[in-house]
Structure 1
Amino acid sequence: MSDNFCAWLCFAVQQDYDFEIGHLKRFSFRELQVATGNFSRRNVLGQGGFGVVYRGCLPNKTLVAVKRLKDPNFTGEMQFQTEVEMIGLALHRNLLRLYGFCMTPEERMLVYPYMPNGSVADRLRGPETGGEIPCLNWNRRLRIALGAARGLLYLHEQCNPRIIHRDVKAANILLDESFEAVVGDFGLAKLLDRRDSHVTTAVRGTIGHIAPEYLSTGQSSEKTDVFGFGILLLELITGQKALDAGNDQLHDCYIMQVKTLHEEKKLEMLIDKDLKGCFDPSELEQAIELALQCTQSHPTLRPKMSEVLKVLEGLVGHSGVEEAQAGGSNMYEARPFSFSRQQHSGIHEASSFIIEAMELSGPR
């Protein structure tokens, strides 16, 4: 974070009048307190390591999501500054935009558009969903992957300066009213500067989605995001979350099981059983191959997001032609893919963390 930006924020918090940062509105604490029903528990949309997100309704009836950050004097301040700066740089239809913010000596809050269809994580099968959330069809899953890829491509190759997201996961891919994918949560993002080595003393992200080179060395790059995207694509295919255990080796097991079934040509065992066989076998094979390329252990072996996007555009174009024939002859009798259940524990996926790299190699 630049010294000038931090100094500007310190100055801004001392002001007692409303102002705007470019297109951003400054909300008073009272406005957001009223909008969220005094931060009522029944309005909680989700929570993670940095705070709680509430559903809110502004006086003009606009629905919003209000992220109330924890610990405004340290981690909350860091995320607040990062998100405000990143949002100012990255404007794209597949990136979550920021409506405004609230900044007081005791509070840091960020206000976003409300996403009526939640996140991809909300739509994945798991014990907490209880099968009550409608299943995403195959074509919609491909389109979600395509939208997320477009957002990440913009960050990596079209934004100036370029940005690494560093926390690509199902919980951070939101779905608007048309199920268009929107990449959200820039609290761990990092500007790419050719003059630095992109090495950090603290590994940031979510266990199960962190690229191995980042986990072991603290070195991040665009390929770190590509790895996270590959895990996301596998989750869309299987319908199961990569993080169902508090074991940082779990994603290795997840990828190896997918790779084994792919080599044995048992792709029907990978597909989400909730699709009830309604998918195209050729598209499934290409999607799995793409996900495995994205999750290669060495970053140089992974494709760029521009290459990922090209494959997905081909898949979505083909799937669009076939969509009217859903329920036709190109169907498998799908059987569910699952992990060894003894590995599971009660860790919730939504929690991001910042933890010193040395601690990751030891017991937790």
Structure 2
Amino acid sequence: MPETDFPPPRLPGRGRAWYRGDCHVHSLLSSGGELTPARLATAARAVGLDFIAITEHGSAGTHGAWGGIAGDDLLVILGEEVTTETGHWLALGLRPGQVIDGDYGVRDDVIDGHVDEVHAVGGLCVVAHPHAPYPSGTFMYSFEAFDAVEVWNGPWGAELPWSADNEAALAEWGRGLAAGVHAGRWRPAVGNSDTHLEGQLGMPHNVVFAEELGAGAVLAAIRAGRTWIAESTAVELAFTVSTGEHTADIGEHLPTRGEEAVVRAAVGGVPSGNVGFHTERGKAHHAALPASGSGVVEWSVGAGETGFVRVEVRHPDGRMAALSNPVTLG
């Protein structure tokens, strides 16, 4: 396959819709990876993903391998996992062959310049697995320059030496959300598989509401927080907040104008799960799902009570099945 066979930046005929995709994916070019690009594409189709982002460690070596593999049903976003001495981050939406340097640490005070390189080409910068328990895996930089935070990396609650501490990452992101919403700039949460091996792709992944199935549109939707995270493609979630005739979806703002708001989550694929609504005061309401795994939970929040609501759906043993970015209120 030619080294310059780059994937198309958008797929025609795929308009405004919810799309599922994994934005942290490695091939055998990355340390610990075992899958070729062709096998990754096959796996993406098998699990029902619409897009993936290829994020090799410090390399653009497989950017040119995707043109003949992606086809007209799988969007491949070019990226990199920038592996610095004191934390990893995802550079998404890079130009073909573009590589972002990672040879530095927090004391070198150069991170902003490298983030600017990505932003200059319209890309997205994502904090990767901020609480990964291995050398260089724990993220030591400020989140300030970054567009989103990976709060869910790989299987939730897995007891493996390399497994990210997702509960810690979610708690850290959640604690900063209220202040960010109040200041008018909050960083969306994302979740990715960090695939290296067979059977990992899409666990978890992002469900993104984009204007089209194109790299620019998908990254814009993630940047705006129009996304929720699913454990697998078996999990469904529709989350809205309404006042009277007005309704806001995930990542949108709902002007409440002093009215009470109705929060609604329709869930599928989580047998006997638990649905929790979270506000700036923590978990504000919860309810159980039936054994079938499908159900609707509603709750009312008073006018001026909070600046946002988000939802978490967990299995009976506490493992996460789905979580959303917030609907902001005010």
Q: Look at both structures and tell me which one has the larger radius of gyration over its CA atoms.
A: 1
Q: TM-score, normalised by structure 2?
A: 0.32
Q: Which has the higher strand share?
A: 2
Q: Which has the higher helix share?
A: 1
Q: TM-score, normalised by structure 1?
A: 0.29
